[in-house]
Each structure stands twice: as C-alpha cells, then as structure tokens.
Amino acid sequence: MDTVLVVLVFFFLLVLMGSAVFYYLSLQNLAQMKLEMAALKEGAAKSASSSAVRHERARCHQQLQQLESELASTARETLTPEELSLIDYARDEIKKCTDTLKQLNDWMGLPYDQEWVEMLKKLPCLNTLYRAAAAAADAANTANTANAQAALAVAGPVAAAQASPAKISSPSNHR
C-alpha cells in the first residue's frame, strides 16, 4: 500500500508540474498573440486613416475637375473670387493630405499619388487662369508696397516718426 501511495503522489506531482508548464506556455502564447493583434490593429488604423486622407484629396481634386470643365465650356478670361477661394482651399487641403500621407509612410508617388503641382498641370484652363490671377495679385501687392514706400519718402522723417512712435521714458527709468 505504501508503494501505491508513493506512485499516486508521484503521478499527481507529475500532473501538477505538467499543468504548470502548460499554463506558463499558454501565457507566453497569449502575450505573443496580444502583440500581434496590437500590430494588426495599428496597421488597420493606419490604412483606414490613409484611405480617409486619399478620399479627402480625391474630393478636392474632383471639385477642381468640375471647375475645369466649367471653365472649358465657357471661355472666360478671369476667375471669380469664389472660384479663387475654392482653388486656394483645395490647394491647402491637397497639400495637407500629401504631407499626412508622407508622414504615415503611405505615399506611393506617381502615378498613384500626385502633389498639388502635378494636379494643377493636368487642369490646363484652371492652371492658366489661376496663375494669371496670382500674378495680378502679386503685382497689386508690389504696387501697394511701392506706393507706401514712396509716400513715406515724400512725407519725410516726421511721417516715419509718427508711423513708429519711440518709447517714452519716465523719470523712474533713469537711475
């Protein structure tokens, strides 16, 4: 009876040690699966955000293409202020989308991903009118700056002093 009891205790110890090893290996496997799931979730979030960014860029590009088709159907020489603001908004959004895709390391380059300049080159009417409007605005800013400098030169030092008032010192500042 003593040998049967010793064999049973030894058997239960072996089962207990086998269970402990199995439990330890299961925990290791679960930890590895958690790491793999986290990596998969991160990749899915990255691809979801990349597709959202590409969708936003495509929406802006579609607005520009619609404006291009309107300009091609009606021969015009200038853009309206609303159209200029639409182009500026689309340009800013496309540049933001491009920067975001590059930060996510999801930029595929030409022909799949295009920057603002490449998109604008593919819209010839819009490109021509937008560049003409930008040149006119730049010329107007240059003329305004030149007029302001000429007015200051004519008015002399009095106008310059009035334009930038000097700091008035008080007696408490002199010690």
Amino acid at 41: K
Q: For helices 2-73 and 81-103, what crossing angle results, to 10°?
A: 150
What pLDDT score was predicted for residue 102? 86
Per-run averaged pLDDT (10 residues), the chain, 175 residues:
87 93 88 86 70 89 92 86 91 90 79 81 88 86 74 59 50 47
What pLDDT score was predicted for residue 153? 67
Stated pTM of the model: 0.55
* Residues 76, 51 contacting (CB under 8 angstroms): no
Nearest to 54 by CA among 120, 98, 102: 98
- Measure Cα distances from 98 to 10, 20, 107, 140 in Å: 68, 53, 8, 31
Provide CB contacts within 8 A for 47, sequence distance 6+.
106
